[in-house]
Amino acid sequence: MKLQPWVRISSSAGQDQATPPAPQAKGNLKSPLRIVFTIFLLGCQIALSDAQPLGKAPLAGIFLGIQEQIQVANTAVYIDQAWNDLTRTPKDIPIAVQDIKIPHDPGKPWPLYISGLEDLESIQTLLFRTLSSAELSGVEIRTIPDDPDNIEEHGLLFLPYPYVVPGGRFNEMYGWDSYFILLGLLASGRTDLAKSIVENYLYQVRHYQKILNANRTYYLGRSHPPFLTRAVLELLERTKDTAWLKRVLPFLLDHYRFWTCPPHVLEAGGLSRYYALGKGPAPEVAWSEVDELGRSHYDRVKDYYEENADVGYDKELFFDAEAGELTDLFYTGDRSVRESGFDPTARFGEFGVDIVNYFPVCLNTLLYVMEEDIANIYRLLGDPMGATLFEGLARRRKNTINCLLWDEQRGMYFDYQFRSRTRRVYPFLTTFYPLWAGIASNAQAKRIVENLPRFETSCGLQASLTPSGNQWDAPFGWAPLQWIAVRGLLRYGYAEEAARIAEKFIRLVTDEHTRTGTIREKYNVQACNIEVSKDVQFGYLTNEVGFGWTNGVYLGLLPLIKPTKVLY
């Protein structure tokens, strides 16, 4: 889905009807970023030297003053440079293999793992042609063992195409991060790099059986929220390459099966869940997510269990109080909440580990979108039978979501605990996913929008209403959730609300970039700053710099904002 270049403000939504169509783009954002923010400044002569000044255009939207326009332009320049700094290519392997999240002996080569389906000789040849002898000495190529649980020394997983890392401690290609990065790359005119990201997605499906949480060996047991078909169709809008689309389709079907077969799917309900493989503590968490007292995330969780009886689920399943140890099921749940991308949160009970017993709103909405997208792809390729099949699957999932996950009394979508057959009443921004996807009726959308003030602060939308001590809860706002909510509001005609949220988040990111010179992973949208140390008690305690998905969403939201006057 692409934003309209400029959105007309309207405070009224339409009457109840069938699923509203997604907004259609008028024009394009193919120009380089220098041109993009020159457009934003509407002909401003102070833009970068090779940008051509543009004339006035009739616009409607949230207004920014002249000084703010300049700050936005400076932030856009930062993002343009950040894409280069965050890009990893084969020549960057000596940097990419390094990982601060796990221990490593100084002077010892970093392992680079390849799939058993890969040609070892060709990879060696590539590295010999690309790297110096000194750089080669710091890298050791290994083949993934048949049982990844047997890996003792973790390392980078090879990807053949350039990709963009989020930044900071995240020096690898992440699953759902890369979709929002792709949106920013397309807005910046970097179609080739966006295509490389999609090709790496497909390579992972072929060689690692899934799109990985990220390309490290300790992520081999889990995936990430599935945005693959959205990425493919976003790219197709630019390339119009249906021959490529035909080649891609089998990989899309393989990834769809990954999410709709055990252990991710259960017979009851026909919906899917997050369920990661692997045993014991996640290696990158056990070693790197340590507080000032030297306690790991898992140590802090055990302390919490010992001091608190009510955790939102049967604690005995996840914590052996007599032994003072976390159970195998805890670690499965812990890995699974990381597969969801919301790590950690109290949305599924404390630390999210009961997620294995839930049908989440977010995942099943994404699978509905995947089914709709595959149906559209079959249609584009002239296969009406395939299109009909996936239209039926999407229709069934939509009906089930509205049956099990919609709470008519509260006017929100909630995650469904299938063992107790109840919805967990935990207001979370994922209630806007069904708007983004077009699952909700207009009546349901109206009820959700009535709840918007509960999430909205002066600087954007907070993930939840609960300050749980987890980063995916209040008071934090995350770029992907701003995007999903704004796009959902636009889809149902709530353009004024969408532009207001976009403006708040753009101002926050711009102000903090102006103040600190950085763009961050997440923001405190109550305090309107990047400070997280006082509110995060579990997981890693930092706010990373970069930052891939914030950069992408920032560029995606800019078209909802206009200057107060034209600069000349």
Catalytic residue list: 343, 521
Rounded CA gap, 149 and 40, in Å? 50
Give the C-alpha separation, 372 to 392, whole Å: 9
Task: Print burial letters for 124-136: b (CB count within 10 Å at least 16), e (below 16).
Answer: eeebeeebeeeeb
For the chain, report the end-to-end CA distance as a whole number of angstroms. Answer: 33
Q: What number of residues does the chain have?
A: 568
Distances in Å between the Cα of 27 and the Cα atoms of 30, 170, 552 are 9, 35, 19
DSSP string, 364-422: HHHHHHHHHHHHHHHHHTT-HHHHHHHHHHHHHHHHHHHHHTEETTTTEE--EETTTTE
Residue 183 CB: number of other CB atoms within 10 A? 27
> For residue 86, which amino acid is it?
L
Using CA atoms of 287, 293, 297, 301 in order, give the dihedral in degrees to the nearest 10.
150
Strands 163-164 and 87-88: antiparallel
Pair 386, 378: CB distance under 8 Å: yes
Evaluated on CA atoms 528, 531, 532, 533, the torsion sign reads: negative
Contact, 209 vs 193, CB < 8 A? no
Query: How many other C-beta atoms can be found within 10 angstroms of the C-beta atom of residue 70?
Result: 16
The whole-angstrom separation of Cα 369 and Cα 384 is 18
- Rounded CA-CA distance 553/317 in Å is 39
CA angle at residue 226 from 290 to 332, to 5 degrees? Answer: 45
Mark 402-415 as b/e (b = at least 16 C-beta within 10 Å).
bebbbeeeebbbbb
Instruction: State the Cα–Cα distance between residues 321 and 332, nearest whole angstrom.
Output: 18
- As a three-state string, the secondary structure of 328-347 is HHHHHHHHHHHHCCCCCCCE
Tell me the CA distances in angstroms from 299 to 70, 75, 269, 326, one per residue in order.
Answer: 47, 39, 36, 10
Asked whether 398 and 346 are in contact (CB, 8 A), the reply is no
